[in-house]
Structure 1
Amino acid sequence: MREVLAPRLLGRRVPLPLVGWLALVWVTLWGEVSPGNVLGGLATGLVVTWLLPLPILDPGIRLRPVALVRFLLLFGWDLVTSTVRVAYWVAHPGPPPTQIVRVPLHTSSESMTMMIMIALTTVPGTVIMEAYPRELVVHVLGLPGDVAEAVRADVAGLERRVVAAFGTRRDREELA
C-alpha cells in the first residue's frame, strides 16, 4: 500500500497524496480550474516533493481497538456526569466549589501528555492551568470538599486508559 501512495521517482519517494494536496493549493491560489493550472500544480507538487523530501515522522501513537472502546465509554460517562455536575452548580445559588490540584503524570511521552490534556479540558468543569514535564495543574469545578486525592486518582485512571488505547509499547512499559 505504501508503494502505491509513495512511488519512487529517480530514486526518491514521492508521496502522491501530498502532490495532490499541493496541486489543489496551486489551483486555489491561481483562482481558476483549468487544465494548465491543474498540470502546473501537479508538476510543481512533484518537483517540490522530490527536491524537498519530508522525513518520515512517527507521532508515537498506536491504536488498540478494545482499549479505545473502553476509553471512549468511560470518557463519555465522564462527559455526562461532569455536565450534570456543572449544570447543577450553575443553577445552584452561591459560588460553586473550586479547587486547584497538582497532578503527577507517569508518562513522559509528549503525545500521551497532550492527549491526556485534551481529554481533561474537554470534560466540563476541568481546565488545565499549567503543564510541566510529568505534572499538570488542574482547576476543578463543582466538587465539594477536599478532593485532591480523588482528582489525582481520576487523572491517573484517565492516563492509564489513554496510554492503553493509544500508547506505544514503551509508553505502556513506562506506565507499569
Structure 2
Amino acid sequence: MNREPLAPRLFGRRVPLPLVAWLALVWVLLWGDLSAGNVLGGLAAGLVVSWLLPLPILDPGIRVRPVALVRFLVCFGWDMVASTARVVFWVAHPRPPPTMIVRVRLRTSSESMTVLIMIALSTVPGSLVLEAYEKDLVLHVLGIPGDIEGGVEGGVEGAVRADVAGLESRIVAAFGTRRDREELR
C-alpha cells in the first residue's frame, strides 16, 4: 500500500507531485506563455529535476490548530492595536518615552517556536528583539510607564515577562507539536 499518494515512485525514487506541479507552474511563468507544450515541458522538467535532485524530508516542527490559531490572532490583533496606541501617545507626548531592556527566559526549547515568538514580538510596535540566546530573549521595550530607574523586578519587567509568557503559550498552543505543548506544562 502506498502511504504517500502524492509522492509515487518512479524508477525506485519518490517523486512529490506537488513539487512537480510547482516547478511546472514556475516553468510556464518563466516562459510567459500558457500553452500545452509549455505545460508539458514544465511537467517533464519538474519530473526530471525532482527525480534527479530529491529533497530530504524535513519536519519544520509546526502544526496548525485552528481554534488556538484564532485565539492567537485575536490576542495578537489586540496587542497590535494597544501597542500602536501607546507608541502614538509617546510620539505626540513632549517628553521622551520610557524605554527598557528586558531579558526574558522562554520555556520552550523548540527553534521553530522561538522564531515565531521573535517574529511576533518584533512585529508589535514598541518592542524589538535585540538578541536571542539558547532560551533567552533580550527585548527593547518602548513606552511602558513605570519604575524604570528603580529596576523593580515585579513592576514593568514583570509585566513584560508575563506578556511574553502569554504570547509564548498562545503561539505554542496554535503551532506547537505535542512535545512543545508538554514542555509548557
CA deviation vs aligned residue, 1:82-116 (integer Å, no higher than 9, x gap): 11111111111121111111111111101000110
- Give the distance between the partners of 1:45 and 1:102, measured in 2 at CA: 47
CA deviation vs aligned residue, 1:88-146 (integer Å, no higher than 9, x gap): 11111121111111111111101000110111111111111111110111111111123
TM-score after normalising by structure 2: 0.86
Letter in 2 for 1:160: S
Where 1:5 maps in the other structure, the secondary structure is coil
Deviation at 1:37, TM superposition (A): 3.4
**Does residue 56 of the first structure (1) align with residue 57 of the second (2)?**
yes
The aligned counterpart of 2:124 is 123
CA deviation vs aligned residue, 1:33-70 (integer Å, no higher than 9, x gap): 44443322221210111122212211111122222222
1:27/1:63 CA distance change after superposition, 3 Å: closer
TM-score after normalising by structure 1: 0.90
Alignment map for 1:28-107 (pairs within 5 Å): 28-107=29-108
- Give the distance between the partners of 2:25 and 2:67, measured in 1 at CA: 37
- Give the distance between the partners of 2:114 and 2:50, measured in 1 at CA: 32
Uncovered stretches (5+) of structure 1, i.e. residues with no partner:
none
Uncovered stretches (5+) of structure 2, i.e. residues with no partner:
149-155
Letter in 1 for 2:41: G
- Give the distance between the partners of 2:180 and 2:4, measured in 1 at CA: 30
The aligned counterpart of 2:167 is 158
Letter in 2 for 1:163: V
